[in-house]
Amino acid sequence: MIKLKLLLRTWMLAIAILLGVLLYFLGDNYLPNPAAKTMAMHWIKTLQPILIFVMLMITFCKVEPRSLRLTSWHGYLLILQTLGFSIAAMFIIGANPTYRPIAEGALLCFICPTATSAAVVTDKLKGDVAGVISYTILANMLAALLLPTVVSLMIPSQIGFLTSLWSIMAKVFPMLIFPFFVAWGIRTYFPQILKQILAVKDLAFHIWAICLTLAITTSTHALMHSVAPFSTLLSICLVSLVSCALQFGIGRIIGRKHHSLVAASQAIGQKNTVFAIWAGFTFFDPLSSLAGGFYSIFHNLWNSYQLSQQARSEQRG
């Protein structure tokens, strides 16, 4: 049983991806009519932000606020994310509709906040866990501010910029920032609830797996209903790969200079790709949500390699 649990945890990403694809095809083949299929997708899109909120709240419940601290590498990584996001946004403005989903995919890969599981991987790689958690909060704040602003500028609206900005922030800000304050409130005023939350081992991890399954379902829906050429799909895949390699690589360079190689690399490289897929499907061309799916595969492959190298190093030691 222990070996089975370990196997399931090791291959949770692959299982979630396969389940997400399977869920789409089951719905497409067995739901009785187009209206039922539309309703199913509506409920999936409704459930996603709720699950992301709960996942972040549980993660932040594990954090002692007094242990959080700001470091110089946090600032450099925030600048890097903002720069990559801004460059992609400039490409989107006035872009040919054929290439727009590619730039939107790059934008999502850079603005996407740090994954809640980054702290777990960092801990196993003997990195600065508190630094990663601090950056997770900062990255969520950055995404909550930049994404609504750029979306409001890029998408034509008849209701005015400020109204459009507020409507988008109302979707993004509560999901990314409120979990921290809710968790802080639980830690301060409801210690019994906190104890029950922390007693359920890997609760956030399992919720993340459900989120990923639903996110892959929406990405599969976008892929199957797309009329985009294969070259566009391949380009989105390559953009995700390049974005992943750049962020992990530059994170390592910055981290090495500040004696936090593992933490800085994981903080900016390991992404909450469920959020990227949701944001792509909600605010941009649904095809751009595929970037989050590809990125999820790439960053987990890299993490698997790092963890295997760490295990070998510990065995030799």
The mean per-residue pLDDT over the stretch 12-33 comes to: 86
CB atoms under 10 Å from CB of 153, counted, come to: 15
Residue 89 has pLDDT above 90, yes or no: no
The mean per-residue pLDDT over the stretch 177-191 comes to: 90
Both structure tokens of 271: 């992404």
Q: What rounded mean pLDDT belongs to the chain? A: 85
Which of 26-30, 85-89, 124-128, 259-263 is the least confident region? 124-128
pLDDT tens track for 108-144: 999 999 987 787 788 778 888 889 988 988 998 898 8
| Contact predicate 183/57, CB 8 Å | yes
| Contact predicate 108/276, CB 8 Å | yes
| Contact predicate 276/239, CB 8 Å | no
pLDDT tens track for 26-72: 999 999 888 998 899 889 888 888 888 888 888 788 777 777 788 99
> How many whole angstroms separate alpha carbon 249 and alpha carbon 145?
25
Residue 78 has pLDDT above 90, yes or no: yes
| Contact predicate 278/293, CB 8 Å | no
Residue 110: which residues within 8 A CB-CB, separation 6 or more? 81, 84, 85, 88, 243, 247
Residue 4 has pLDDT above 70, yes or no: no
Name residue 114's beta-bridge partners: 271
Q: Which residues of 60-90 are buried (b: 16+ CB within 10 A; e: fewer)?
A: bbebeeeebeebebbebbbebbeebbeebbe
Residue 216 has pLDDT above 80, yes or no: yes
| Contact predicate 15/8, CB 8 Å | yes
The mean per-residue pLDDT over the stretch 97-117 comes to: 88
pLDDT for the residue numbered 84? 92
Does residue 33 or residue 97 have the better pLDDT? Answer: 33
Residue 82 has pLDDT above 80, yes or no: yes
pLDDT for the residue numbered 109? 95
Does residue 37 or residue 155 have the better pLDDT? Answer: 37
In 3D space, the residue among 187, 277, 288, 191 whose CA is nearest the CA of residue 233 turns out to be 288
Residue 213 has pLDDT above 80, yes or no: yes
High-pLDDT (> 70) share of the chain, %: 92
Both structure tokens of 226: 């797309």
Residue 23: which residues within 8 A CB-CB, separation 6 or more? 213, 214, 217
Between the alpha carbon of residue 62 and those of residues 132, 236, 293, the distances in Å are 13, 35, 27
Which of 168-172, 193-197, 211-215 is the least confident region? 168-172
pLDDT for the residue numbered 192? 94
Length of the chain: 317
pTM of structure: 0.81
> How many whole angstroms separate alpha carbon 19 and alpha carbon 295?
18
Does residue 120 or residue 89 have the better pLDDT? Answer: 89
pLDDT for the residue numbered 26? 94
Residue 7 has pLDDT above 70, yes or no: no
Both structure tokens of 188: 């301060």
In the three-class reduction of DSSP (H, G, I as helix; E, B as strand; rest coil), residue 224 is classed as: helix
pLDDT for the residue numbered 6? 59
| Contact predicate 144/276, CB 8 Å | no
| Contact predicate 302/317, CB 8 Å | no
Q: In the Cβ-directed half-sphere of 180, how many Cα atoms lie within 13 Å?
A: 16
